[in-house]
Every structure is written in structure tokens, then in C-alpha cells.
């Protein structure tokens, strides 16, 4: 994630806000809680990401989507087990093509035809999957990719479109490219000065023309949270939809939040380049609940409810009236995602990993909450903690915690997080339990030398939850997991876990 500028408070800073117009690079979406009535939500979908050590069964997730009246979902690939679960569900689907596949699809029409036949045509014709979009790549022009996908994105887009037409699906299914909000910017920091980045300007115009010619939408990912994360001086209230922050006046158009300003910067960029009528989809929007001082349940509920209230009211932006087409990010937490962007990356879900709602969220039509996943089964009520007889001075403590966190998930530890108030023994216990649960409570996963012990007393305290892992199809007989983490990550984890020494 990057920020479009350093946002300072005051008049100058409020103008820079608009350039702090959020960049980002993220994935996914979701929902649930109380009520068995199905409520159809128009204009809103969810991202369904699957980078989890213990994912819920696809059929469970699809049932949960239907229970909540969510009729659109965005995937990041075209895995058959998820598409099969969506068969005859009535849920509209956007399937994804990972960036790593762009080169192959760009260089071979046949490869594109094979991909469409396997991942689109077969599901549409025989499985009754209602595929509406194919997302070609995911934020391929992020500066962090160093231009890797600049030469392959448009050719891949063209070849997939040609393959859809050949398969007789060109009218029914549209192509798009989910882009980060950093593909456009404003030199004056006002939306009306919006235009596309100079280094990709010509390429963007080619993509816009292709989308326009083929009826495809412009898909953009917008994350106000990242503006706040990247800039400590960012006026926090301006990230939300109910703020009393000083508005920004752009030639009579008043902006009371950064989302509107960001969105309209794109609208201006499209308009001044001759594509003012191109439809826009917000491919990802949301707020994480842990892993950072500003990633918490209160802020996430405030942001997502504020956004949903706007969607349900059909409120647009100063430049585009009418309901916004969007996919919430994301449906469920993913404990196996990379945390290179930040520890919050594993906590974007509206639901915890087990499909339980995190907070009250009304999706509209008079409903006050989300419906949880049904028939979820858990492992035994036991936890791995630091043994009462173990000493904090034991020389094995540092290495053991580093190993546990390097192969599990300790992103709820640290300053401002849900478990940030644990003492030293609590930090160590949390690390041990995370490793123990991810490894399906194997006896061998709670054998840190002279340091750990299994307990049946729940060590959770306050908002800090020591979770019990769910049972999955692969839980039985599974060996210890080795999640890929960098040495740098382990060293980073030690910096906050070891406020103990």
C-alpha cells in the first residue's frame, strides 16, 4: 500500500487529502448474523478470498451468502471447488485471473481459449454458474511490481475477450481489470484535476477504449484506511462517511470524505479523456479489524455501515449521482495472507475465520444484522499456553516464540491491537496457542521445550481471544503446518512480543 501524498491538517493539508486519495493493493469480501430471512441486497457484493489455513467449506460459505441476501461475489481465481459450490445459487460471479497468468494469456490466443473453456464455459453450460465478469489480473500496475505486467495486461484482456466471443459468451460476460486507485492522481490535489498517471497514461487510454468498445466496466479498489495507515497526520474523521471534518470545495462541489474525493478524481480522469460514460465498479472497499491501532471493530463498523447506508440510499458522489456498484472487502478473515503490506492484512473480513460476525452490520431493507455460517464444527476446547512453571528468563523463549509466530499468526499482538494489552506471559501463550490451533491441536504442536502446557481453561481476556480452530476436510491426520514466512517477519514479531524482557 502506498499513499498519494503526505496529508497535513489545515487548509493546505485538506487539499492534499485529495491526493492522499488512497492507493493500495488488496483483496477480498463478506457478511452475516441473526435472522433467517433472505434479504436481497442490490448494488453490493462481497470479495471471497480463500487464503486461509482452515477455510470454511465452499458450500457453507455459499449458504451464508444466500442467508444474507448477498447476490454477487468476486473471486480472485477460478478454482472449480468454489465455482461448483456457486452452481444454481442465483449468485452472480466475477471470476479472477491472477497476475502470474497474464504473460501466458497475452502471448497465446489458444491459452486464452483453453482458460475460458475450462474456467468459464464449462461452469456456465453444465453447472449453472452465473458468471458475469472475468477480472483479468489484480492491480497489475502497482509500482511495487516494477512494471512487470505493463506489457501483458492489455494483450491478455484482448485475448480473453476474443475467447469469450468465440465461446458465444461475449454478450453475457464482460471483461475488466481491477486497478488500484494509484493509476490516477491530481496534480493540484482536487478531483477536478484528476488524470491518469503519466507513466501509464497512454496504456490506460488503450484499456479504456477497449473496455468501452466491449461494454466492460472500469474496476477500481479504494481504501480510505490506507490513507490513514500511511500518514499519521491524516485527519481521521475524513476517512469516514459521518464525519464533521472540514469539507473540501472543488469549484462548488463539496467533499466531506476521502472516498467521494477519490472516486470523483477517477470520474474526472475518465471524463477529460473522452470516457465520461464508462461504468465504474468499486472492486474492493472495506476496513480491517485488527493488526494496527486504527484497525479495530469500532472503526470497521463505522466505516462499513456508513458505506452501506449510502449504497442503500442510492447516494452517489458530487460528480456521479445514483447508487455505487461495489464489492465489500472482505467476507472472511484469511490467516495465511502475506502481511508484507501490514499486519492488518489478515483481518479485512466482516466475519472471523469461522464465519461468525464481528460486529453489527445492516445490509438494508430493515435488517439489523448479519447471519453467521451454519453447521461449523470446532476442535476440542483446549489451548496451548506458557507453562506456569516456565521462566521468562529461559533462553529458549525467544527462539520458541519466533518459531511459533513464524509458522502461525501473531498479527493480533502489538501496539493498539486486540491483544496489545497482554503481559509477557500472555504474549508467549498467544503465540504458542496460535501455532497449536493451526496445527490442529496435535500433541507435538505444544511441546516447546520446558515452556508450554495444554490447558482446558480459556485464556482469553477482554477483546483478546485465544481462538479454537475449526474442523475442515483436511483436519484429520494432518501433520504440522509450515507456513511460509520470512526471517524478517520473525524478527519483526520479536520486536513486539518481547516487550517481555
C-alpha–C-alpha distance, residues 342 and 344, integer Å = 5
C-alpha–C-alpha distance, residues 391 and 449, integer Å = 12
CB 332 within 8 A of CB 351: yes
Helices (H), 152-296: 153-166, 201-214, 224-230, 258-272
Q: Which of 100, 193, 256, 284 is catalytic?
A: 284
DSSP, res 93: E
Write the CA distances from 129 to 58, 92, 115, 123, 168, integer angstroms: 14, 8, 16, 5, 16
C-alpha–C-alpha distance, residues 304 and 138, integer Å = 23
CA atoms within 13 A on the CB side of 96: 23
Our answer to whether residue 284 is catalytic in this structure is: yes
Local structure of 368: helix, strand or coil: coil
Residue indicated by cell numbers 478524481: 265
Which residues, 6 or more positions from 216, have their beta carbon under 8 angstroms from its beta carbon?
133, 161, 174, 175, 176, 210
Beta strand 194-196 with 184-186 is antiparallel
Our answer to whether residue 193 is catalytic in this structure is: no
Write the CA distances from 220 to 223, 265, 451, 500, integer angstroms: 10, 12, 48, 43
Q: Which of 113, 139, 334, 345 is catalytic?
A: 139
Which residues, 6 or more positions from 15, have their beta carbon under 8 angstroms from its beta carbon?
188, 189, 190, 248
Question: Phi then psi for 65, rounded to 5 degrees?
Answer: -60, -45
Could you count the other beta carbons within 10 Å of the beta carbon of residue 467?
18
Residues 444, 445, 450, 453, CA torsion sign: negative
Write the CA distances from 322 to 117, 135, 274, 302, 357, integer angstroms: 36, 24, 21, 22, 29
Cis peptide before 58 (omega within 30 of 0): no
User: Catalytic residues, which ones?
Assistant: 139, 284
Amino acid at each position: 500500500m502506498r499513499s498519494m501524498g503526505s496529508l497535513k491538517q489545515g487548509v493546505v493539508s485538506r487539499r492534499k487529502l485529495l491526493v492522499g486519495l488512497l492507493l493500495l493493493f488488496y483483496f477480498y469480501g463478506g457478511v452475516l448474523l441473526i435472522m433467517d430471512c433472505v434479504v436481497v441486497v442490490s448494488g453490493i457484493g462481497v470479495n471471497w478470498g480463500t487464503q486461509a489455513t482452515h477455510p470454511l467449506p465452499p458450500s457453507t460459505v455459499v449458504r451464508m451468502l444466500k442467508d444474507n441476501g448477498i447476490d454477487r461475489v468476486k473471486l480472485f481465481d477460478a478454482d472449480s471447488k468454489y465455482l461448483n459450490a456457486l452452481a444454481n445459487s442465483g449468485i452472480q460471479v466475477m471470476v479472477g485471473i491472477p497476475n502470474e497468468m497474464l504473460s501466458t494469456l497475452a502471448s497465446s490466443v489458444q491459452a486464452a481459449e483453453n482458460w475460458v473453456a475450462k474456467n468459464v464455459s464449462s461452469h456456465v453450460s453444465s453447472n449453472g454458474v452465473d458468471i458475469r465478469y472475468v477480472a483479468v489480473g489484480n492491480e497489475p500496475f502497482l509500482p511495487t511490481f516494477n512494471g512487470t505486467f505493463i506489457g501483458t495486461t492489455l494483450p491478455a484482456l484482448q485475448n480473453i475477450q476474443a475467447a469469450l466471443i468465440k465461446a458465444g459468451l461475449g454478450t453475457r460476460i464482460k471483461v475488466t481489470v481491477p486497478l488500484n486507485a494509484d493509476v490516477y492522481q491530481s496534480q493540484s490535489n482536487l478531483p477536478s484535476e484528476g488524470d491518469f498517471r503519466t507513466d501509464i497514461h497512454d496504456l490506460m487510454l488503450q484499456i479504456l477504449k477497449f473496455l468501452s468498445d466491449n461494454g466492460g466496466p472500469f474496476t477500481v479498489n479504494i481504501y480510505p484506511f490506507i490513507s490513514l495507515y500511511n500518514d499519521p497526520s491524516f485527519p481521521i474523521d475524513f476517512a469516514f462517511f459521518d464525519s464533521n471534518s472540514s469539507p473540501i470545495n472543488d469549484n462548488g462541489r463539496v467533499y466531506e470524505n476521502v472516498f467521494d474525493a477519490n472516486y470523483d478524481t477517477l470520474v474526472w480522469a475518465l471524463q477529460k479523456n473522452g470516457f465520461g460514460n464508462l461504468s465504474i465498479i468499486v472492486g474492493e472497499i472495506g476496513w480491517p479489524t485488527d493488526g494496527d491501532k486504527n484497525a479495530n471493530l469500532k472503526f470497521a463498523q463505522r466505516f462499513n455501515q456508513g458505506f452501506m447506508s449510502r449504497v442503500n440510499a442510492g447516494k452517489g458522489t458530487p460528480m456521479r449521482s445514483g447508487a455505487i456498484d461495489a464489492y465489500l472487502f472482505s467476507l472472511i478473515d484469511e490467516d495465511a495472507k502475506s502481511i508484507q503490506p501490514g499486519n492488518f492484512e489478515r483481518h479485512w473480513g466482516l466475519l472471523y475465520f469461522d464465519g461468525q460476525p464481528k460486529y453489527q452490520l445492516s445490509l438494508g431493507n430493515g435488517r439489523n444484522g448479519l447471519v453467521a455460517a451454519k453447521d461449523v464444527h470446532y476442535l476440542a476446547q483446549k489451548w496451548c499456553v506458557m507453562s506456569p512453571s516456565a521462566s521468562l528468563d529461559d533462553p529458549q523463549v525467544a527462539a520458541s516464540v519466533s518459531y511459533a509466530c513464524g509458522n502461525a499468526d501473531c498479527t493480533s499482538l502489538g501496539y493498539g491491537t486486540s491483544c496489545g494489552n497482554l503481559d509477557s506471559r500472555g504474549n508467549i501463550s498467544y503465540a504458542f496457542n496460535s501455532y497449536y490451533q493451526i496445527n490442529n491441536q496435535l500433541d507435538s504442536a505444544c511441546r516447546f521445550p520446558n515452556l508450554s502446557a495444554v490447558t482446558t481453561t480459556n485464556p482469553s481476556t477482554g477483546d483478546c481471544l485465544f481462538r479454537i480452530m475449526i474442523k475442515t476436510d483436511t483436519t484429520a491426520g494432518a501433520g504440522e503446518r509450515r507456513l511460509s514466512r520470512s526471517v524478517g517477519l520473525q524478527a519483526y514479531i520479536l520486536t513486539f512480543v518481547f516487550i517481555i524482557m
